[in-house]
């Protein structure tokens, strides 16, 4: 007795077949049972196999259980903000501070440690111990994060205080060209003012739109601008489609 796979059209079947001899002594085969389609064989067939093994007196082989592999996802490290600030640090020339601290007795890269603390203050202000926790969440360019210790951060602050005059001179030389220019400061602010009533007037600047209170109401936008002792106000209607506001200027 053996298992045979037969084909009928596009389907394949699993059959239990036995061999026998007829009256003339010729070997023939006959189907004892059809166990089902091959593409639909499931755990029921395993139960039949284990049952036959048990009837024959053999020890059933336990069906191995296949466990799905455990997948662990680690948090991604922030990169964009620290990369942009690092490039800005280099463009402004603050890397020149490394020359100042090379004259000291410190063996660590003080300029890199100060840069780390500055970036931390800009991205996620924390204490010195908080800097170490923050470093575990970012991919900081040009810095070996795992090598930084709390003691090194404290020593870099000491070096900064000891070389304050030299550091101030370098920073002043870098920033003076940026601010030593003829500049004008412009103050500009916008606010929306909601109005009541249903009366309409020609060239009405009031339009229906989402108000600050979270409802659709009539309102207009007021823009206030101040430039070198000259005060000028601009009124602009706030419409439901803010990309096409009407504008009305008042000196």
Number of domains in the chain: 3
Residues whose CB is less than 8 angstroms from the CB of residue 98 and which lie 6 or more positions away in sequence, other chains included: 109, 110, 111
Asked, for residue 11, whether it belongs to a domain, the answer is: yes
Asked, for residue 68, whether it belongs to a domain, the answer is: no
**Candidate ranges 78-92, 120-134, 218-232; pick with highest mean pLDDT:** 78-92
Asked, for residue 246, whether it belongs to a domain, the answer is: yes
Q: What is the largest CA-CA distance in the chain?
A: 124
Given 179, 200, 225, the domain boundary residue is 179
Q: In what order do the strands lie in the sheet with 2-8?
A: 2-8, 11-21, 27-37
CA torsion sign for 135, 140, 146, 147 is negative
pLDDT band (50, 70, 90) for residue 168: very high
What's the rounded mean pLDDT across residues 4-10?
A: 81
**What is the rounded average pLDDT for all residues in the chain?**
79
Quote the domain boundaries for residue 29. 2-55
Pair 45, 87 in one domain: no
Pair 86, 41 in one domain: no
What's the rounded mean pLDDT across residues 219-245?
A: 57
Q: What is the pLDDT of residues 196-213, one digit of tens each?
A: 877 888 888 888 888 888
Pair 99, 175 in one domain: yes
Pair 88, 150 in one domain: yes
Distances (CA, A) of 165 to 96, 139, 211, 230: 14, 32, 53, 41
Pair 192, 167 in one domain: no
214: left (phi over 0), alpha (psi -120 to 50) or beta: left
**Candidate ranges 1-5, 58-62, 91-95; pick with highest mean pLDDT:** 91-95
Residues in the chain: 251
Specify the DSSP class assigned to residue 31: E
What's the rounded mean pLDDT across residues 149-159?
A: 90
Which burial class, exposed, middle or buried, applies to 251 when counting CB atoms under 10 A from its CB (0-12, 13-18, 19+)? Answer: exposed
CA atoms within 13 A on the CB side of 112: 15
Pair 111, 138 in one domain: yes
Asked, for residue 51, whether it belongs to a domain, the answer is: yes
Residues whose CB is less than 8 angstroms from the CB of residue 146 and which lie 6 or more positions away in sequence, other chains included: none
Pair 147, 85 in one domain: yes
Asked, for residue 84, whether it belongs to a domain, the answer is: yes
> What distance in Å separates the CA atoms of residue 84 and residue 89, rounded to the nearest whole number?
9
Specify the DSSP class assigned to residue 240: S
Pair 88, 138 in one domain: yes
Pair 115, 174 in one domain: yes
């Amino acid at each position: 007795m053996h298992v045979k796979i037969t084909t009928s059209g596009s389907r394949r079947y699993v059959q239990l077949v036995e061999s026998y001899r007829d009256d003339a002594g010729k070997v023939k085969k006959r189907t004892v049972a059809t166990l089902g389609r091959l593409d639909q064989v499931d755990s029921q067939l395993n139960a039949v196999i284990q049952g036959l093994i048990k009837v024959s007196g053999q020890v059933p082989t336990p069906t191995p259980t296949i466990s799905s592999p455990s997948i662990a996802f680690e948090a991604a490290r922030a990169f964009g903000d620290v990369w942009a600030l690092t490039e800005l640090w280099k463009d402004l020339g603050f890397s020149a501070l490394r020359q100042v601290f090379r004259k000291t007795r410190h063996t660590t890269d003080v300029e890199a440690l100060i840069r780390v603390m500055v970036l931390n203050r800009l991205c996620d202000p924390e204490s010195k111990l908080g800097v170490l926790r923050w470093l575990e969440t970012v991919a900081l360019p040009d810095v070996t994060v795992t090598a930084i210790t709390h003691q090194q951060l404290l020593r870099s602050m000491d070096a900064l205080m000891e070389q304050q005059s030299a550091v101030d001179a370098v920073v002043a030389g870098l920033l003076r060209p940026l601010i030593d220019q003829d500049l004008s400061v412009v103050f500009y602010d916008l606010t929306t003012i909601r109005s009541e009533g249903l009366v309409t007037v020609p060239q009405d600047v009031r339009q229906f739109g989402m108000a600050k209170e979270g409802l659709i109401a009539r309102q207009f936008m007021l823009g206030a601008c101040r430039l070198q002792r000259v005060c000028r106000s601009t009124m602009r209607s706030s419409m439901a489609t803010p990309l096409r506001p009407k504008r009305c200027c008042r000196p």
